[in-house]
Amino acid sequence: MRLLFYFLFTLFSLLSIKAQTEPWQGKFEPIDNMITPPNTYRTASGAPGRDYWQQQANYKIKATLDETNNTISGKETITYYNNSPDDLSYLWIQLEQNVNKKGNEDFGGINNNIKDGMTSRQMQFLTRAIDFPAGYSIKYVKDSNGKNIKTMVNNTMMKVKLNTLLKSGESTSFSIAWSYPITDRSMYSLSREGYEYFPSDDNTVYLIAHWFPRMAVYNDTEGWQNQQFQKLGEFALEFGDYDVEITVPEDHIVASTGLLQNSESVLTKAQRKRLDEARKSFDKPVMVITQKEAEANEKQKSKKQKTWKFSAKNVRDFAFASSRKFMWDAQAVKLPTNTVMAMSFYPKEGLPVWQEESTKAVRHALEVYSEATFDYPYPVAISVNTSNIGMEFPMISFNGGRPKNGKISNNAKQGMIGTIIHEVGHNWFPMIVSSDERKWMWMDEGLNTFLHQRTVAERYPDFNSVTPKSIVPFMSGDKNILRPIMTTSDSELMSQFGANFYLKPTVGLQMLRNSIIGKELFDEAFKEYANRWKYKHPNPADLFRTLEDATATDLDWFYRGWFFTTDHVDMELSHVKWFKVYEENSNIEDQNNTSKVKIDASGKNVQAQTKDFSSGPEMITMNATPDAAYGQFLSRINEPELRKQLSGKNIYEITIKNVGGLVMPVTIEWIFTDGSKEIDTIPAEIWRRNEYEIQKTFIKEKEVKEVNLDPNFEYADTDTKNNSFPKVETASEFDTFKNNKRKS
């Protein structure tokens, strides 16, 4: 009791706890009640649990591309493995092409408003005045005995009511026959696939994706994935093996997910020989189809057909491109555990930059991402040129960026190379680390953009890349419009999803890596997350938990602020007080500790909030510690030594206000009168006891002439004008007058 009393007494007497002017918000409290609780499927450490399970879907598909009518039709057999602990009486199939059906297309309401002076194309997007057919015709769904299965379509999803219950641990096979009209990519603002027509040579490039009816995800968090495809929120898909036969006009070249199985019947002897050369070419690509050959192909217009056979193992999707316009180059990329063929397919309209840069960018992405996570596991990585956007699928991506009359601006070239790196990078997130894109766009876009920016920074140092500064304009935006990162994909605005789901998580990860956790520890944790969840379905909580678990760092404060709020970082260096010690009548030999040490001196106005250091250091008095203050302790501080240590030193007490709301570590740059600099960093935890204002005291040998917060722009501070002392004068006299009046 006595001990406790003394303890409390000492605490209250030593600490002067400044009253908070605003209510405590618990910025450092655990986020446990904001994320899904751990269970036997997903552990508290962020790893898959001992009962983790996921479904599997294998596909055998035979499809035919009809160039005359721009349609594709196919038959597929899906073998679905029910690894869940549940018996299933129905399955859900995704029919994404139905989003283009008139009526369904407005589900997500992407283009709604009439503006003054709209173009005819914008008006067509808005009204679909010229109608066109779209969406699936499902011919039949049959079980393995050839018996029809009852189905029911709800927009972009189809319920398959199984004839016999699919028990836990068992599998079922069923077949679907289907077709749909391929849509013109230029008719949509968010067209990830479709055809692009080239009037000059009367040819078409087909980008075929979300083209066959695919299994929806059934998992431990959602049951059946039940969010419709509304164009912005992308895909949630199961892993499986694919055998796909694609029949196209005889003179088409097909670039596809998977490994080509019948090269002898679809490629010429010369093309096969060049591919063999490419397999041994590690320094530069080999042309498999040259410009001359592609231009000769363009003129053929064969009416005959050819079937390309591909096989892909353990992928969550399958896409391809087909055209007689394609040039093709390829080279080998050696990774520690895999040798990959990096390849590009492009029409002559992509020349010369595509031939120069595309496959090279694929290689850079493969190398940097593999090092940061795990080796690219697939046999090929393909970049296909398209008129705009960038879109990813396993082993293949469709990437925008075309020169005009053979010339490309430096900006457009940066954009094109960045897009290729980004889309190839999506092989890791979400194609292998397979998060639910329909729900959390940031989980794949954010993590992928983070590594894409790292690739750009490491391999293209002359190009601009994202830094914390890049997010400042977004984070200073109108809070009535801003949403937190933890917002479902389709609830974000078209004007903001790039900043909120790509850039903001990227910058957050950059801060964790470069400033909060440190590169080595962070990189290991990021790798841990990727390896724990490869070929699996992670949720946000699994990422949050793994990064803490693998670094022994409590990041709940960071997740809470950065991912769950729209607060921003704005720290204000409100004041710096300068003190100096000098000895007055002091006697170093004075063992009785009787003399007073004064901490200067010449300050004219101790109480005033000085704007700079011109009035010199302030004076405070330091008394020798009276015996009573030691309580039961019998030892005494060495007063002369303490005085000696403080003598002649500059003592600075700084006051920092949290204006933006986000708590962050504090980086302080001291610039001394001799021009030299020093940096001190304080961890974010300093904000634990007062979330609005902190004070901290430093001792410096040299005199300081300037103090700056966040000098290297590590924390996306939205207003750097209030980061310095002496204060940078920005307010007009009238503003100052107004502010003073308000205070009084």
Of residues 244 and 431, the one with the C-beta less far from Zn ion:
431
Nearer to Zn ion, 396 or 516 (CB): 396
Residue 605 class from Cβ within 10 Å (0-12 exposed, 13-18 middle, 19+ buried)?
A: exposed
Write down the least CB distance from residue 369 to Zn ion, Å. 13
CB of 185 to Zn ion, least distance (A): 18
Contact status, residue 267 vs residue 137, Cβ threshold 8 Å: no
The secondary structure element, H or E, covering residue 197 is strand 194-198
CA distance 50 to 48: 7
Which residue do the tokens 């520890």 mark?
521
Q: What is the DSSP letter of 126?
A: H
Min separation Cβ 262 and Zn ion, Å:
32
Q: Smallest distance, Å, CB 390 to Zn ion? A: 7
Residue 289: which residues within 8 A CB-CB, separation 6 or more? 253, 271, 297, 326, 327, 328
The mark string for 469-488 relative to Zn ion (x by CB under 5 A, - otherwise) is --------------------
Q: Is 23 exposed, middle or buried (0-12, 13-18, 19+ CB in 10 A)?
A: exposed
Rg (CA), the chain: 32
Say how far apart CA 635 and CA 622 lie, in whole Å: 19
Contact 643, 588 (CB under 8 A): yes
What's the one-letter identity of residue 575?
Answer: H
For the bound state, the minimum distance from the C-beta of residue 434 to Zn ion, rounded and expressed in Å, comes to 14
Q: What letter does residue 107 receive in the DSSP assignment? A: S
CB of 392 to Zn ion, least distance (A): 6
Q: Which residue has 């005494």 as its token pair?
A: 636
Please list every residue from 520 through 549 that binds Zn ion, using CB under 5 A. Answer: none
Q: How far is the CB of 537 from Zn ion (least distance, A)?
A: 18
DSSP 215: E
Residues 419-458 that bind Zn ion (CB under 5 A): 445
Q: Which two tokens stand for residue 231?
A: 């164009």
**Nearer CB in complex with Zn ion: 445/567:** 445
Nearer to Zn ion, 93 or 416 (CB): 416
C-beta of 237 vs 278, nearer to Zn ion: 237
Q: Which is nearer to Zn ion, 70 or 510 (CB)?
A: 510
**Closer to Zn ion at the Cβ: 193 or 445?**
445
Nearer to Zn ion, 172 or 373 (CB): 373
In the bound state with Zn ion, the residue whose beta carbon lies nearer, of 357 and 445, is: 445
Sign of the torsion angle spanned by Cα atoms 605, 606, 612, 617: positive
Nearer to Zn ion, 422 or 580 (CB): 422
* Half-sphere exposure for 744 (CA within 13 Å, toward CB): 6
CA distance 661 to 709: 16
| Angstrom distance (rounded) from CA 547 to CA 513 | 11
CB of 60 to Zn ion, least distance (A): 29
Instruction: Compute the least distance from the CB of residue 422 to Zn ion, in Å.
Output: 5
Alpha-carbon gap, residue 708 to 542, rounded angstroms: 37
Minimum gap (Å) between residue 234 Cβ and Zn ion: 9
Neighbouring residues of 375: CB distance < 8 A, sequence distance ≥ 6 = 335, 336, 337, 338
Q: What's the start-to-end Cα distance of the chain, in Å?
A: 46
Residue (of 530, 527, 336, 354) closest to 431 by Cα position: 530
Cβ-contact 359, 343 below 8 angstroms:
yes
Choice between 418 and 540, CB closer to Zn ion? 418
What tokens appear for 331 in the block? 């080279």
CB 490 → Zn ion: shortest distance, Å?
16
At 427, the amino acid letter reads N
Burial (CB count within 10 angstroms: exposed 0-12, middle 13-18, buried 19+), residue 716 = buried
Using CB under 5 A as the binding criterion, the count of chain residues that bind Zn ion stands at: 1
Quote the least distance from Cβ 233 to Zn ion, whole Å: 13
Distance between CA atoms of residues 322 and 293, nearest Å: 16
Q: Which residue is nearest to Zn ion (CB)?
A: 445
Which residue has tokens 């605490």?
Answer: 11
We find the least distance from the C-beta atom of residue 498 to Zn ion, in angstroms, to be 10
Contact 149, 139 (CB under 8 A): no
* Nearest CA-CA partner of 553 in 563, 544, 562: 544
Residue 125, SS3 per DSSP: helix
CB 514, min distance to Zn ion, A: 22
> What φ, ψ does residue 402 adopt, rounded to 5°?
-130, 140
Residue placing its CB nearer to Zn ion in the complex, 377 or 425: 425
Q: Please identify, using beta-carbon distances, which residue of 445 and 717 lies nearer to Zn ion.
A: 445
β-strand pairing of 171-181 with 338-346: unpaired
Judged by CB, which is closer to Zn ion: 502, or 522? Answer: 502
Contact 61, 212 (CB under 8 A): yes
CB of 451 to Zn ion, least distance (A): 11
Residue number with CB closer to Zn ion (325 or 422) = 422
Nearer to Zn ion, 329 or 445 (CB): 445
Q: DSSP letters of 441-492?
A: HHHHHHHHHHHHHHHHHHH-TTS----GGGGHHHHTS-TTT---SSS-GGGS
Q: Nearest distance from residue 447's CB to Zn ion, in Å?
A: 10
Of 35 and 503, which has the nearer Cβ to Zn ion? 503
Residue pair 478/490 in contact by the 8 Å Cβ criterion: no
| Helix residue spans in 236-341 (DSSP H) | 263-266, 269-279, 291-300
β-bridge mates for residue 339, sequence order? 334
Q: How far is the CB of 441 from Zn ion (least distance, A)?
A: 9
- Cβ nearer to Zn ion, comparing 443 with 663: 443
Min dist. Cβ of residue 21 to Zn ion (A) = 43
Mode of pairing for the β-strands spanning 380-385 and 338-346: parallel
Give the number of residues written for the chain: 744
Which residues here bind Zn ion, judged by CB under 5 A? Answer: 445
